[in-house]
Amino acid sequence: MGFFSTIFGFFGFGFGISIGLIVGYFLFIYIQPSDVEDPEIKSLTDEDSETLQRMIHEIPLWIKNPDFDRVDWLNKLIEYMWPYLDKAICNTAKNIAKPIIAEQIPKYKIDSVEFEVLTLGSLPPTFQGIKVYTTDEKELIMEPFLKWAGNPNVTIAVKAFGLKATVQVVDLQVFVAPRITLKPLVPCFPCFANIYVSLMEKVCGSYNVYQFFFFIFTFVIVQPHVDFGLKLIGADLMSIPGLYRFVQEFIKDQVANMYLWPKTLEVQIIDPAKAFKRPVGILNVKVIKAMKLKKKDLLGASDPYVKLKLTGDNLPSKKTTVKHKNLNPEWNEEFSLVVKDPESQALDIHVYDWEQVGKHDKMGMNVIQLKELTPEEPKVLTLELLKNMDPNDTQNDKSRGQIVVELTYKPFKEEDMDKGYDETQSLQKPPEGTPPGGGLLVIIVHEAQDIEGKYHTNPHVRIIFRGEEKKTKSIKKNRDPRWEEEFQFMVEEPPTNDKLHVEVFSTSSRNLLRQKESLGYADISLTDVVSNKRINEKYHLIDSKNGRIQIEMQWRASQAS
């Protein structure tokens, strides 16, 4: 009987389950509660006001601020280069930190501090936007906004008194908007001498630290961050009441004291004194005479004059007077040229035949290397005039006459030379011979913008100061010319009540009816130049629709003024 009762028990259980499932299915289908409502279906892209307000801080800066530019290309470049940048940055950090650590650990009786693991992780930083400022100085100012939610692993082992403690930094988050200034801009790679970094607002960030030992703050220099967690042997130190906010505010204040604008971190890339070679001496040149010159005019004799210029110098050439109808002229005129590198510079001497109309004919030339001169020793040279300095040119065998010059190189004394160099702040002293109470007015013509002539645009600048006129070179077919030419005026008294007349002209040899036309002018008061020592501004050109010209003016007063 026991066997049959077991069999019937299984059949009864199976029959009951089947009947229960069928009845339950029909009850679920046909009997529904009255309070059931259909769910609201929304698009995945639709967000309510609260969600949008929470996300407003995540919107890239180039959307919120039109003056920030997108730099997606830079983020793609960093993403691709990140594995290599990671290794390069970590190796550089090790090389910088090791000597600092080695210098500091004896003070705390620590045996060693070593990097066991140092990697920035697989997640690169991203730039949310970048803002670039335009200035009239030789500098580049930019403000990138950086976000980095990285997964670095920095493990440092500290050994002291026979014990070993391990400090680990992971899960780093940085949000920072530094101002980076590259200045001064120089004409040699990488084209800037210094990097200046300052923070425009306090740094925000977070990271977790495992097995943290507090003295790491004392001698390991890392980028400070604000919002972070600390753990020591698995215990969360930041759970201690008051410690989290204290450490957070402490690091914020320390960062602000060191790097918050206008304070800066300066990193020198190259020596500015090497990029901008400062004057090291004066070359006195006396053009005595020329002999047996060959005439260039078919009718009558030539009208010779001499041009002097040092190689690598942007200053205009020095010129003698014109000796009309004379093939054996005597000048006996003296000139002074500023020398910046006597080992590489040379004196170019050109003799021209002056023409009232058209281009002046070249009568001959020669070059003197300054390194061949003995300092403080006058040297009289009689030079053969050549067509060019090519030793293989057979035309140089033809006689073109001779020129006699006297050269004296006078180097500056070491104590008279500037120890440092900053082109925007350090002004040279006026040369010897400046009248007491007077000084040297230096005019630098940088560039012009949006200038246009009615008939041609081949601009050059004419500068007039107290009746003395100087000109820049002409640049053909250019509405935005850049000259970068310097002119000097030696005056007996400060030009406090004087004005500088600057006028842009365009000349054309092809347009015979309108060879010359004015593209605009500006009259600049020199009162502020004397008081401020230096002014670098852009001036609107009168009689020009949109034309502007950038002029830099420096006043170098004599010792007695």
Domain 433-557, CATH homologous superfamily name and number: C2 domain (2.60.40.150)
Closest Cα to residue 113, out of 121, 105, 123, 125?
A: 105
Domain boundaries, the chain: 61-274, 277-390+397-415, 433-557
CB-based contact 337:285 (threshold 8 Å) = yes
CB-based contact 311:338 (threshold 8 Å) = no
CB-based contact 473:460 (threshold 8 Å) = yes
Cis amide leading into 481 (omega within 30): no
CA–CA separation, 232 and 216 (whole Å)? 13
pLDDT of res. 255: 67
CB-based contact 228:205 (threshold 8 Å) = yes
Strand arrangement of the beta sheet that strand 516-525 belongs to: 468-471, 459-465, 499-507, 516-525
pLDDT of res. 390: 78
Say how far residue 536 (Cα) sits from the centre of its chain. Answer: 17
Helix (H) or strand (E) holding 144: strand 140-149
Q: What angle do CA 30, 34, 36 make, to 5 degrees?
A: 95
Select 277-390+397-415's CATH number: 2.60.40.10, 3.10.20.310, 3.40.50.720, 2.60.40.150: 2.60.40.150
Lookup result for tokens 């890339």: 269
β-strand pairing of 229-232 with 204-210: parallel
Tokens linked to 486 = 């310097």
Q: What angle do CA 51, 55, 58 make, to 5 degrees?
A: 170
pLDDT of res. 119: 86
Tokens linked to 202 = 């306090």
pLDDT of res. 209: 40
Tokens linked to 258 = 């060191």
Strand arrangement of the beta sheet that strand 304-310 belongs to: 318-319, 304-310, 346-353, 361-369
pLDDT of res. 511: 62
Q: What does the chain come to in residues? A: 561
DSSP state of 423: T
Say how far residue 249 (Cα) sits from the centre of its chain. Answer: 34
pLDDT of res. 305: 92
Task: Measure the CA dihedral 519/525/529/531, to 10°.
Answer: -170
pLDDT of res. 341: 83
CB-based contact 534:553 (threshold 8 Å) = yes
pLDDT of res. 550: 93
The amino acid occupying position 212 is F
Closest Cα to residue 428, out of 414, 418, 413, 439?
A: 418
CA–CA separation, 91 and 103 (whole Å)? 19
Helix (H) or strand (E) holding 322: none
Query: Three-state SS across 398-417?
Result: CCCCEEEEEEEEEECCHHHC
H helix intervals, 116-242: 216-219
Q: What is the pLDDT along the chain (561 residues), one digit of tens a residue?
A: 555 566 555 556 566 676 766 766 666 666 666 666 666 666 655 666 776 666 666 677 777 777 888 888 999 999 999 999 999 988 888 888 888 888 877 777 777 878 888 888 888 988 888 888 888 788 899 988 888 887 888 777 777 777 777 777 667 777 778 888 998 888 778 888 888 888 776 554 444 443 333 333 333 333 334 454 445 444 555 566 666 677 667 766 766 777 777 778 888 888 766 666 667 778 889 999 999 888 776 666 788 999 999 888 777 788 899 888 888 899 999 888 888 888 888 999 999 988 877 788 888 889 999 989 888 889 999 998 888 887 777 777 788 889 999 999 888 665 445 444 444 444 455 555 455 556 778 899 999 999 988 888 889 999 999 888 899 999 988 999 998 888 888 788 888 889 999 999 998 877 666 678 899 999 999 988 888 888 999 999 999 889 999 999 988 776 544
pLDDT of res. 63: 74
SS3 of the chain: helix, strand, coil, percent, to 5 = 20, 40, 40
pLDDT of res. 212: 35
Judge if 277-390+397-415 and 433-557 fold alike in CATH terms: yes
For 97, list phi and psi in degrees, rounded to 5: -75, -35
The amino acid occupying position 146 is L
The amino acid occupying position 48 is D
Contacts of 308 (CB under 8 A, 6+ apart): 285, 287, 317, 318, 319, 335, 337, 347, 348, 349
Lookup result for tokens 């943290």: 212
Contacts of 380 (CB under 8 A, 6+ apart): 288, 404, 405, 406
The amino acid occupying position 107 is K
The radius of gyration of the chain from alpha carbons, rounded to an integer in Å, stands at: 39
Say how far residue 97 (Cα) sits from the centre of its chain. Answer: 27
CB-based contact 143:177 (threshold 8 Å) = yes
CA–CA separation, 453 and 382 (whole Å)? 47
CA–CA separation, 259 and 251 (whole Å)? 12
